[in-house]
Structure 1
C-alpha cells in the first residue's frame, strides 16, 4: 500500500493542525484532537488510520522507530481502540507499554520502587493474556515482575520481549486482528456497525497515576447521569490507572460529598481545573462529556473524553439545557433524543442495576414495567384492585369481557396475539405494560397457573412484567418511577413548531381523551364507539342489541343505548375541545362481544331474561365462520340503519349539549368503517343526513358534521376515487388493511412472525411497521385517486402504525395530513414527526 499523500500516512501525530478524520482515524482520535485544540492537557498522542490497521492485521507493520520517535526514549505508552462510532466497541486498552528492567529502574528513582515494579508487573500480565493469549492462571499470583516474566517464558517458550518496539508491534498486531475476529464482527454488527467498519488505533504517552503525592486516575462528568441536572459526579481512585475507579468500592468521590471522602477534600485545585475543562468541552464540543483523567504527583492530564452516559430522562434534560444555553440550536436538540425515549419517560421502568429472574419472553406490545400478583381472570384483577393490590393479568388472549379487569390491573400478558391484538391495543390506550405472543408460556385459567420452562407460577405469585423488553420476571426488582420532567415538555413544544404533519390520538373514553390532550394530541383521530360499551352493565346492552331479531326489540335496545352513547360522546367532546373528534360508527366483530364460557352464558341469560338454551341457539344462529370478515362495520350500518341513526343522533346531541355548556366543540367527524363501495357510503350518508334534518326541525338549529370513511379494505383503497367525492376526509385503518392485504390474522401471526422476520421473508412485522411495498402501495394508489377526484381532501392514518416512526415517515412522503395513535404514543409521534421534518423537509415548506 502506497502512502505518498498526507491522507495516506501510516500514522499521524495528533496536533491542532493534523489531518485527523473520524471516518479514517475513528471517533476517539478526532475527539482527542478537539481536546488538544481546546487547550486541554492531553498527553502526546499518535493516531493510526483504518487502512494502516488493516495492514497491521495482515502482518505489514509501519515504521516502529518513526512512531516511537514521537515519544522519546524511555517513554511508557498506551494503545486504545478508535472505531468510527464509540458504540461499536473495540479491543481492550493496553497500558504501560515500554516497561522493561531498565525503564523500571529509571522510574523507581522518580516514582519509588513499589510503583515502578507495579507498572512493570501489570504490563507483563496484560501482554501475556491479551497479546500472547496465554492462560491467565500462571500470572494471577505472580506478585513480582520477575515471577511474571518467568511464568511468561515457561508458557510462551521464549523470554518476555523487552524491546519497546517489539512490545508495541505485538500490541498493535493483536488489537488489529482482534477487530477482524468473527465474534468481534458479530458484536459490532449487533450495535449497528456496517460489515466493513474500520478500526483506528491511538498510541498515547502514559500519565502513570502511580507514585508520590497526589497520584491516581478517575472519571468525571458534569451532568447527573440519571436526571441530567448540572452536577459534578464521578469517582477517583488513588494509585490507579485507567477507568478502575468506576468499579472500585474504595474509590473516592470527585466533589466533596457527605457519603464519603472526595478528591476535592485534598486536591481542590485539580477538581477546579476539571470543572473548567468540563465547561470548555461543553461549549467547544457542544455536548456534555465524561472526562477520563490522571493525576501524577499532582499534575493533571486529560486522557480521553466521551459522550457522558445518561438515562433517557437525562438525555432529554441535557439536550434542552444545551439548546437553552445557546450551545446548540433547537433543531439539533430535537435530533439528539430518540423518540422512544420520550415514550419510556411516561412509564415506570426496571432499574438497570436490578437482578432480573426471567421466566419467559414474548413480544413487547406496550412499554413500561409493573410488579403485582399474578391473576387469571378479570374478576380477580378487580378484587385485588379493590384491596389496593396490583394485579398482573395473564390470559391466553383477551376479549371485550376482560376489559373491566384490564382497567383494574397493572399489566397484561397473553399467551397468544401480536402487536395489534386486542390486548395490545387496549393496553397501549390505557398506558399499561403489555407483553403478548408468549409462546413458551401456558396459561391455565382452570387451574389458575402459568407454566414456562418447567416453572409453575400459581395465582398470587409476585411477578414483574417488562413491557419494553417483552419479559416476565419472577419477584419484584427495583422499579424507577416515570419522570418526564419539564425538559420533555419544552422539547415537545419545539417539536410541534418544527413538524409538518398532524398528530391525533385514538381515544375511546373521556379519560383516554384527557390523557391524549395532556400528551399534546391535536384531537381524536379515532374514537371506537363500541368500546364505550365496556363499562359495567354496558356489555349486556350491546348483547341485547346483537340478539334482537325484530325491529321492536332493536328499537328498545337502542333507546337504552342512546343516552349512554350521548353521555359518553359528550364527555369525549368536552375533554377534547376545542380540538376535533372523529367518532367511528359501531364496528364490533360480533364474536368478540358474545360469551365463550359457561359462566358467560349464564350471566348473559340472566341479563336477557332468557333460558340458557335459547341463548345458545341464538349464538349458534348468528355465529360466523370468519367474523372478522362478517357482519361488522358498514355492513351493520347498511343492514340495520336504525343503529346508525341512534349513533348519529347521539353524536349531534352530545356536541350540542357540550356547546350549550360553554365548550368550543367543532362539528363532529363521523367515520364509516370497513367500506368497500360507493353505494355503502351513499346509504349511510343518507341516513345520517336524515337524522341531522330531523334534529334541525326539532331544535331549529344547524347540525353541522363532517363525514369520512375508514379505508381498511383493499377494494376501498382501489376505489378511493369513487368514494372520496362523498366524503369530507379519508382515514386509513392500517390494522385491518394489513390483515386483508396479507390474508393474515393479526391475533395469530405472533406464532410465526419471528421466524418470518428472522429468515428474511418480511423485513419487519407488518403489524408494527407499515409494509411500504404492499400495504403502502395501496395507500399511495388510494391517496392519488382520492385527490384526483376531490382535490385537497384530508388524508390520515389511524391504525397502530400511526405511532411508528418509519410509518410516520411514509405518511409524510405521501403528503398525508395527520396520523393518529394511542395516547401514550402521542409524544413519541410528535418528536418523530419533527425529526423527520428536519431531516427531510418538504419542498416549499
Structure 2
C-alpha cells in the first residue's frame, strides 16, 4: 500500500504552456520554480524543466545524500524524459544532446547567494555532437569550457585558495589572452577554447586528484547536491541572517533545458526590469550582451549594453560617448534586434500586470528566438519601493492595503539618511565616471578586500568586480565601487537590495590588488585614502564631501499617511533631548515613550554636581547638590515638553547604578578630590564602596529612589515645575512619570507616595496644577506576574524589553556577544533575542503582564520602550497583544508606523 510520503510529489514539471505547480506554491517550489510554472501557464516561452522542492532540501540536510537521491531519483528520471520530449533532444546523447542548467531557488530572492551550473551534460563526445548538430564548433567548445569552469568551482571546490589569488580557471584564461594578445573571451578561437578545456581538466585533476566527471547523470546529481549545500554556504547564511530568513526554509533546485545566448551575433542574453530599481520611475530598462550566456551579465565580465534606446542614450551621456560612436559600438537591443525587443517589451508589460509589482526578468535569445528564463519581484531601493507602491496604487493596479503590504518596513531607513550637499558637490573634484547602480551618498576610506571592510569606521569597498563571496564586506562598507559590471551586475543588484550606494562599471579605474591601489589616469589612490561616491549620478569624487539631512519625498509622506489610516496602535519615540524629540515628531512620533534622565547628568557642567551628590555623606549634603541639578533638569524637561507640545511624554526616573557617574581613572579622581576639597582617599573609598559584583541586579532603579528619596523628589519637582512653566506659556505638557525596575508592589507604592507628595507640594506652592500619570517600567519577570496588584495604583505599564529579555534569559547583554553568534550558528537560537523580541518566552511575560494589569484596570495604558519597538516582527507581536503603543529611536519611527499598519491589515 502506498504511504502519504509515496504519494507526495518531490518534483514538479513545467514547460510547453503547462505545469504541475503555480505561483501560489512559492514556499514549496521556491520563488524561481513557482514563477517558472506560472509563466508556463501564461504562455510565456520558458525552456522546459522541473523543480525539486524545498522539502527535499530539508530532507537532505537531515538524512544526507544517499537517502535523498534514492527518494527522488524515479521522479527526476521521469522529469528528464518530459524535457526530452518537449525539447526534442536526449540527455547524454552524443548525436542529439540535451544540455541542462541547475539553479537554486529559495522562497525569497537571494541574488548570487547560492550556486548555479550551466551547460550540464557535456563531455568529450557530446561536445562533438553539439558542434555537429548546431554546425557551430566555436559555440560548442565555448559552452564546454564554461561548463567545466562553473562545475569545477561550484561542485568540485575549485576556488581561489587565498584573497590574493585569482580564480584558477581565470588565471589560465588570462595567461592565454596575454599569449594571444587579446582582451575579450569572444576573441578566443576554436583551438583556444579546446586548449582551455584540456587545461581546465588538468587543473581539476591536479587540485582534486580526480578526473572531471564525464557521465551526465553523475554530473546532474553532483550539481543538485551542490545547490542543496549552497543553502548552508557562508554567503547564503550571512544573507539569511541579514534579512532574518529561517534556516529551515531550504532551497528548491530548478533544472531546465539549456537555451544558448552564445551562438553568435543573432544570440544573446540579458536582464531587464519593468521599472527603474533605483528610483522607481516607470521606465522599462535593462542590459544585454551579444554572444554570451546569462552569468556573463551579472558577473560583470563584460560591461553590457542597454536594452532601450533611451537607456543607451543616457548611458552614452554618462560615458561621454557621442551618438555616432554609440550607435556603432553600443547599440541598444531596441535598435539591434527591434522585433525581439518588441516581443520582450510585451512580456514585461504582461508580467508586471499579472504579478502587480515590478519584475526583474532574465532572458536569452537563441538564434533569433526569445526565451524567458526567470521573473521575480525586483530588488529595489527604499525610494523606489515607496514610489512604485504609490504609482501602482494610483494606477488602480493595487489597493491601499496591498500598497502597504508590499513595502519592507526596514527599507524606509534608507530614505532617512544624509545626502550630499549640493554646494559641496559643485566644488567637488570628480576623478572618474561610472554607472549609477544604486542611489545614495557615500564617503569613506578605500579598501580593496571584502574581509577588510571593517578596517575603517567608514570604508568604500573597491573591486574590479564583486562576487557573492564579498557579501559581508559589501554590507559593512558605506559604498561599493567596481571597475567592471553594469546596472544588473552582482554588485548593483545586491547593493540596491541593501540600500547601499554603488557605482559600477567605472572602466577608467585600474585596480591593483597586490599594491592595494587605484589608478585613475596619472593619479594613484592608496588604501585608506578618502573618496566619495554619488550613486545617483555615477560620479567618483576625490576626498570627503559634506552631507545634509534628506528631504522626505511626497510619496514618502503619502505612505505614512496611509499607514496611519490603517493603524490604531500609536508609535512613540525614545528621546532624551529636544533635538531628538523634534526629529522624531517630524517623522510622525505620537509622543515620547522613554526619556532617560540619566543621560542628562553626563554633560560636563552637570557631572560635577552629580558626583557631589554621590559623595555626600548626609541627606543635607545630597539635597544641596540636587538643588544645583534641579534647574538643569527642569530646563531639559521644558525643552522636551515644548518639542512634543500636547503629546504624552514618559520620563523614566534615574535608573543606572551610581558607580557609572563616579570617576575610575586616578587623574580624574584627583581632580574631583581637589574640586570637592576632600582627600583623594575619600574619593577612592566612595568609588570602592559603590562597586558591585553585578550592577545590573544591584543598587539601581527604584532601589536608588527608595534608599535616596531626595533623588526622586528632585526629579519629580523638575518635571512638574517644567510642565507648569509651559502651561503659563499656553503650551500643554502631558508628563508620565515612570518608576524603573519595580519588582514588588511595595516598591511601587513607596515611590508613588514620594512622587505624588512632591507634586502636591509644587501645586500648593504655585497655586496651580496639571494632569500627570504615574506608572512603571515592567522589566523584571516578577513584576509581570503580579501585574494585577501593581495596576491597582499604576496608571500605565511600559515594558522595558531590553532588561526583561536579559532577566528572562539570564543573559547579560554586554557579555552575550561571546556566545550568541555560536548559538545562532548552531541553531540553538533562531535569532538574537535582543534584536527580535522572543515571543515564546519574553513575549509570554508581556502578554501575562498586560492581561493581568487590565483585569484590574481595563483602561490601563500599555506599551513597550525597548529596542524591539522599531523591529517589524516585534511591532506585529505588540499589535496582536493589544498594546496601546510602541516606542523606538527617532529614525525608526517611520518603520514602526508602517509595521503597525501592516500588523493591523494582516490581522483583519
List per-residue Cα deviations over 1:575-596 (Å, max 9, x = no partner): 1122210111222310000001
1:244 to 290, 293, 296: 296
The answer to whether structure 1 residue 801 and structure 2 residue 860 are counterparts is no
| CA distance in structure 1 between the partners assigned to 2:193 and 2:348 by the alignment | 42
Instruction: Measure, in 1, the Cα distance between the counterparts of 2:81 and 2:699.
Output: 84
> RMSD of the TM alignment (CA)?
4.6
Secondary structure of the residue aligned to 1:819 is: strand
Q: Are 2:118 and 1:93 equivalent residues in the alignment?
A: yes
Query: Taking structure 1 as reference, are residues 194 and 766 closer, same or farther at Cα in structure 2, changes over 3 Å only?
Result: closer
CA distance in 1, matches of 2:279, 2:656: 45
Q: Deviations along 1:632-666, whole A, 9 cap, x unmatched?
A: 3223323333332322222122122223334333x
Q: CA deviation at 1:58?
A: 6.9
Structure 2 CA distance, aligned partners of 1:764 and 1:48?
30
Taking structure 2 as the reference length, what is the TM-score of the superposition?
A: 0.68
1:499 corresponding residue in structure 2: 567
Give the Å deviation of 1:703.
Answer: 2.4
Are residue 203 (structure 1) and residue 257 (structure 2) matched?
A: yes
Task: Tell me what 1:71 maps to.
Answer: 87
The match for 2:421 is: none
CA distance in 1, matches of 2:86, 2:114: 27
1:62 equivalent in structure 2: 78
Question: Is the contact made by 2:121 and 2:219 (CA closer than 8 Å) also made in structure 1?
Answer: no
Q: Secondary structure at the match of 1:290?
A: strand
Q: Which residue matches 2:306?
A: 253
Counterpart CA distance in 2 for 1:747 and 1:106 is 67
For residue 753 of structure 2, give the secondary structure of its aligned residue in structure 1. Answer: helix
Contact 2:120-2:216 within 8 A present in 1 as well = no
Would you say how many aligned residue pairs link Structure 1 and Structure 2? 718
CA contact (8 A) 2:87 2:257 kept: no
* 1:707 aligned residue: 774
Could you say which residue in structure 1 is the equivalent of 2:654?
586
Instruction: Name the CA distance, whole Å, in 2 between partners of 1:125 and 1:600.
Output: 69
Query: Shift of the alpha carbon at 1:33?
Result: 4.9
Structure 1 residues 696 and 463 mapped into 2: Cα distance closer, same or farther (>3 Å)? Answer: same
Tell whether the 8 Å contact from 2:40 to 2:46 is kept in structure 1 after alignment.
no
Alignment correspondent of 1:603? 671
Cα pair 1:99 1:123 within 8 Å, conserved = no
Whether the 8 Å contact between 2:47 and 2:256 is mirrored in structure 1 is: no
Q: Does 1:637 align with 2:705?
A: yes
CA distance 1:599–1:262, change in 2 (3 Å): farther
Judge conservation of contact 2:264–2:290 (CA < 8 Å) in 1: no
Among candidates 746, 749, 767, match of residue 813 of structure 2: 746
Cα distance, 1:510 vs structure 2? 0.8
The answer to whether the 8 A contact 1:11-1:67 is kept is no
Contact 2:669 2:683 in 1 (8 A): yes
CA pair 122-839 structure 1, distance change in 2 beyond 3 A: same
**Offset, 1:43:** 5.6
Which of the residues 168, 179, 184 maps onto 2:230?
184
Given that 1:507 and 1:822 are in contact with CA atoms closer than 8 Å, whether structure 2 keeps it comes out as yes
Output aligned runs, 1:152-167, within 5 Å. Answer: none
Please state how far the C-alpha of 1:267 moved relative to its aligned partner: 4.4
Q: Given the superposition, is the C-alpha separation of residues 95 and 639 from structure 1 closer, same or farther in structure 2, using an over 3 Å criterion?
A: closer
Decide whether aligned partners of structure 1 residues 480 and 590 sit closer, same or farther in structure 2, where only a CA change above 3 A counts.
Answer: same
Change in CA separation of 1:479 and 1:282 when aligned onto 2, cut-off 3 Å? farther
> Which residue pairs with 1:228 in the alignment?
280
1:528 aligns with 2:596: yes
| Worse overlay, 499-508 or 28-37 | 28-37
Distance 1:99 1:783, change over 3 A: same
Does the Cα contact within 8 Å between 1:525 and 1:820 map onto a contact in 2?
yes
Q: For 1:802 and 1:29, how far apart are their aligned partners in 2? A: 36
> Aligned partners of 1:479, 1:235: CA distance in 2, in Å?
33
- Partner in structure 1 of residue 48 of structure 2: 45
The CA deviation string for residues 301-352 of structure 1, in whole angstroms up to 9 with x for no partner, is 4444343343444344434433343333333343333333233553478799
> Hey, what does 1:20 align to over in structure 2?
21
Structure 2 residue 400 is matched with structure 1 residue 330: yes
Structure 1 residue 542 displacement after superposition: 1.4
Give the conservation status (yes or no) of the 8 Å contact 2:262–2:293.
yes
Q: Is the 8 A contact 2:706 2:751 kept in 1?
A: yes
Of 293, 300, 311, the match for 2:363: 293
Matched-pair contact (CA < 8 Å) for 1:219–1:243: no
8 Å CA contact 2:702, 2:742 repeated in 1: yes
- Asked if the contact 2:740/2:776 (under 8 Å) is kept, the reply is yes
Greater alpha carbon shift after TM alignment, 274-283 vs 703-712: 274-283
Structure 1 CA distance, aligned partners of 2:847 and 2:859?
A: 15
Residue 776 (structure 1) shift? 3.7
Which of 75-84 and 705-714 deviates more? 75-84
* Counterpart position of 1:689: 756
Distance 2:40 2:453 in 1: 50
Q: Counterpart in 1 of 2:856?
A: 789
> 2:539: which partner in 1?
none
- Distance in 2 (CA, whole Å) between partners of 1:234 and 1:708 is 57
Q: Secondary structure at the match of 1:726?
A: coil
Matched residue of 1:707: which SS? Answer: strand
Q: Which residue of 2 aligns with 1:450?
A: none
- Separation in 2, partners of 1:575, 1:775: 33
User: 2:516 maps to what in 1?
Assistant: none
CA 1:31–1:354 in 2, change beyond 3 Å: closer, same or farther? farther
After superposition, the Cα gap between the structure-2 partners of 1:823 and 1:518, relative to the gap in structure 1 and judged at 3 Å, is same
> Aligned-pair distance for 1:485?
4.8
Correspondence for 2:190: 144
Aligned-residue offset at 1:622: 4.6
1:671-682 correspondence runs (5 A): 671-682=738-749
Give the distance between the partners of 2:900 and 2:671, measured in 1 at CA.
47
Q: For 1:618 and 1:60, locate their aligned partners in 2 and report how far apart those are by CA, in whole Å.
A: 76
Change (3 A) 1:789 1:655: same
Q: Give the SS at the match of 2:673.
A: helix
Q: Contact 2:655/2:740 (CA < 8 Å) preserved in 1?
A: yes
> What is the alpha-carbon distance in structure 2 between the residues aligned to residue 344 and residue 653 of structure 1?
40
Contact 1:355 1:477 in 2 (8 A): no
Q: Determine whether 1:719 maps to 2:786.
A: yes
Q: Take 2:79 and 2:795, find their aligned partners in 1: how far apart are those partners?
A: 75
- In 1, distance between residues paired with 2:546 and 2:221? 41
Pick from 666, 684, 703 the counterpart of residue 616 of structure 1: 684
Residues 156-199 of structure 1 deviation map (CA, whole Å, 9 limit, x = unaligned): 9xxxxxxxxxxxx9656633442224733533973556477543
1:661 aligned to 2:729?
A: yes
Alignment partner of 2:576 out of 508, 513, 526: 508
In the TM superposition, what are the counterparts of 1:104-503 in structure 2 within 5 Å?
Answer: 104=131, 107-108=134-135, 116-126=136-146, 143-144=189-190, 148=194, 171=216, 174-181=219-226, 183-184=229-230, 186-187=232-233, 190=237, 191=240, 192=246, 194=248, 197-203=251-257, 206=259, 208=261, 210-211=263-264, 214-246=266-298, 247-255=300-308, 256-257=312-313, 258=316, 259=319, 260=326, 261-263=330-332, 264-267=334-337, 270-295=340-365, 300-347=370-417, 355-356=448-449, 358=451, 370=458, 485-503=553-571
Specify the alignment match of 1:550 in structure 2: 618
Counterpart secondary structure, 2:580: helix
Structure 2 residue 101 is the aligned partner of structure 1 residue 31 = no
Instruction: State the TM-score, normalized to the length of structure 1.
Output: 0.73
Q: Is the alpha carbon distance of 1:797 and 1:355 closer, same or farther for their aligned partners in structure 2, counting shifts above 3 Å?
A: same
1:565 aligns with 2:610: no
What is the CA deviation profile of residues 760-780 of structure 1, one whole-angstrom value per residue up to 9, with x for unaligned ones? 655544433444454444434
**C-alpha deviation, 1:809, in angstroms:** 4.0
Rounded to whole Å, the distance in 1 between the matches of 2:852 and 2:651 is: 25
In the alignment, is the contact (CA less than 8 A) between 1:57 and 1:177 conserved in 2? no
Q: Residue in 2 aligned with 1:733?
A: 800
In the aligned structure 1, how far is the partner of 2:453 from the partner of 2:377? 34
